[in-house]
Amino acid sequence: MKQTYKWGFIGCGSVTEIKSGPAYQKINGFELFAVMRRDLEKAKDYAFRHNISNFSNNADALINNPEIDAIYIATPPDSHRYYALKVAEAGKICCIEKPMATTFKECLKITKAFEVKNIPLFVSYYRRSLPRFNKIKSWLDENKIGKVRHINWHLSKSANQIDLDKKYNWRTDSKIAYGGYFDDLASHGIDLFIYLLGDIKRAQGIAINQQGLYTAMDAITGSWLHEAGITGSGSWNFGTEKREDTVHIYGEKGKISFSVFDEKPIELDSDDCKESLIINNPENIQFFHVQNMKHYLSENIEHPSTGKTATHTTWVLENILKHNNLNLEQC
């Protein structure tokens, strides 16, 4: 245990501006010591704006810097394994942005590398640490809706302008993210459902590219079965008229409703109780996730999002997508 853990960032793009980066600076016992980006001028600009003393365009130098204790990998997912294995070899604590890697096999390799070295590995599925979702977990743990029978999630939104303009977007490049926005967005919800309802033992789905705007899939449906016997279903479409984000958890005595991304009220409707609560997210949405990493390192308090849990999430995502993709000609 150290009094202060010095962190280095590999990648300092948009996700680190507000969502994650400032959280590392706000947690007592963490120091954002250095950032790295391939474009040195952009790394310098980020360091200047966030009052960070060290910046670089050399990932190996950052990873092997003896002053740095921990590395946060915030690059596109196709490079996560490459950097993570280097971090494990260097013996450094690591946090990887979600999704953990592009395939289940890559996740297994990463997880094993850190297990062999007995080094902590975290993944930024930060919804497991947010108060609004832990309130839902407490409702479930307290049996507010009785035995849970089924969970359903529908997420849809209109096409992004960048995609309509046919500009490059790594999030919709099938070589980096085969499932497109499903990989990027639905991974948050699936991981959260596993946290709330337990591991999943079976998953399947259908994926299709309806719009032809990019190479990744843009319309997915899926179904799954939790080990506890709870059924699940979901539909995700990224080319509809308007945005919808609604989850319903059905129990024998009631229902819980909420949104994965929108800060709408979380609602409990049961025979015995009706509640509607607004629990706002922190300014830096990864704050509690980062804080919980510090709790683990200093107090050995279990962290809810680890390499092991994120590997399982990727297995579920992959099973919903694999061998079930269709194209319009097949239809």
**Mean pLDDT, to the nearest integer, of 30-46?**
97
Give the pLDDT confidence score for residue 323 in this predicted structure: 55
Q: Give 249's strand partners.
A: 151, 256
**Residue 327: band (very low, low, confident or very high) from pLDDT cuts 50, 70, 90:** very low
d(CA 250, CA 153): 11
d(CA 192, CA 97): 15
Q: What percent of the chain clears pLDDT 70, i.e. is strictly above it? A: 97
Give the pLDDT confidence score for residue 178 in this predicted structure: 81
- Min mean pLDDT across 146-155, 289-298, 318-327 is at 318-327
- What number of helices (H) and strands (E) belong to the chain? 12, 15
Q: Report phi then psi at 310, rounded to 5.
A: -70, -30
- The 10s digit of each residue's pLDDT in 96-112 is 999 999 999 999 999 99
Paired tokens of 283: 């300014």
pTM of the model: 0.95
- Min mean pLDDT across 57-61, 67-71, 162-166 is at 162-166
Give the pLDDT confidence score for residue 2 in this predicted structure: 80
Give the pLDDT confidence score for residue 192 in this predicted structure: 98
d(CA 253, CA 209): 39
Under 8 Å between Cβ of 317 and 204: no
d(CA 304, CA 129): 7
**Mean pLDDT, to the nearest integer, of 107-135?**
98
In angstroms, what CA-CA distances link 81 with 21, 74, 112, 211? 21, 12, 12, 31
Strand order in the sheet with 254-258: 274-277, 266-270, 254-258, 244-251, 148-156, 231-237, 219-226, 200-208, 325-326
Say which residue the tokens 């989850």 belong to.
247
**Residue 176: band (very low, low, confident or very high) from pLDDT cuts 50, 70, 90:** confident
**Residue 272: band (very low, low, confident or very high) from pLDDT cuts 50, 70, 90:** confident
Closest listed residue to residue 68, CA positions, set 82, 81, 52 = 52
Q: What percent of the chain clears pLDDT 90, i.e. is strictly above it? A: 92
Prior bond of 99 cis (ω within 30°): yes
String of DSSP letters for 262-328? S-PPEEEEESS-EEEE--PPPSSTTHHHHHHHHHHHHH-PPPS-BHHHHHHHHHHHHHHHTT-EE-T
Kindly tell me if the per-residue pLDDT of 7 is higher than 50.
yes
Give the pLDDT confidence score for residue 329 in this predicted structure: 40
**Mean pLDDT, to the nearest integer, of 62-90?**
97
Under 8 Å between Cβ of 168 and 176: no
